[in-house]
Amino acid sequence: MAINPIPSNWPAGAAGALPGAAGAASGGSFSDSLRQAASELDLLGLDAQHKIRDLVGGGGGEVHEAMIAVEKADLSFQLMLQVRNKVVQAYQQIANMQF
């Protein structure tokens, strides 16, 4: 089993961290954390696409590596979707407040 290094174009702190966790730890704003999480989510999706393409195209891809990459991308997407739902819910609660 080959262990692939983390691509050099990944954002700092993306190795093994939850999307957006590195931005929150460095004291960045909430919007910066969301932007970083979205870019990390995109990178995970691209990584999954490349591994599937290698697997299907006969480029020497491993089935388990492709499955792990797809599951990482899926879990990250589900997490980002839940964060979005909570932000929308909080906005709706604030919008419904009476002053």
Q: What is the pLDDT of residues 10-20, one digit of tens each?
A: 555 444 444 44
What lies within 8 Å, CB to CB, of 70 at 6+ separation is: 48, 51, 52
Instruction: Say yes or no to pLDDT of 40 above 70.
Output: yes
**Per-residue model confidence (pLDDT) at position 18:** 46
Spatial CA neighbour of 43 closest among 81, 5, 10, 80: 10
Helix (H) or strand (E) holding 66: helix 63-95
The span from the CA of 15 to the CA of 81, in Å, is 21
Reading the block at residue 4, the tokens are 């692939």
pTM (predicted TM-score): 0.65
